[in-house]
Amino acid sequence: MANEGYLGKHSIGGERAATSDHQVVLHYLPLSEAARAKAIPVGTVLKRVGGEDGAAVWEPLLSSDEATVMPAAVVDSPCDPTGESAETSALCVVHGGVKARLLKTGDDKPLSDIQAALLMERGIFAV
């Protein structure tokens, strides 16, 4: 007979990027070494880059990135790789609705029209 019981719960505080307008798909995405240099706020758009061993890692999209760089995800909860917990991945929306007012690039600028359109083509809808 298996033991059953209350083991605890986990909650994420603060404002999140995800909306309830469209179901979201969330994944923890591994961050590149460069992305771990500072905290990543909610709403930051990430791009996929190649890691040292060829595995995919993610880092913030920059306002200067060319239109050929595809935005891939939006950080859903605060991520501080420099803090006590030394997070190596970020909880991100990879599909669904996100709050448009929170979206920004890694250099804290609003998305360009092209970047916003590419995000929508990826299946992440700013509402």
The confidence score (pLDDT) of residue 15 equals 77
Average of pLDDT values for 29-52? 91
Ordered domains of the chain (ranges, CATH) = 25-126 (2.40.300)
Look over the chain and give the mean of its residue pLDDT values, rounded to a whole number.
86
Give the pTM: 0.82
How far, CA to CA in Å, does 116 sit from each of 50, 59, 91, 95, 110?
A: 22, 17, 20, 14, 9
- Taking the C-alpha atoms of residue 71 and residue 92, their distance in angstroms, rounded to an integer, is 12
Average of pLDDT values for 39-63? 89
Q: What percent of the chain has pLDDT over 70?
A: 85
The confidence score (pLDDT) of residue 45 equals 97
Give the residue, 31 or 2, on which the prediction is more confident. Answer: 31
Average of pLDDT values for 113-119? 93
Per-residue model confidence as pLDDT tens digits over 53-94:
778 899 999 999 988 889 999 999 989 888 777 889 999 999
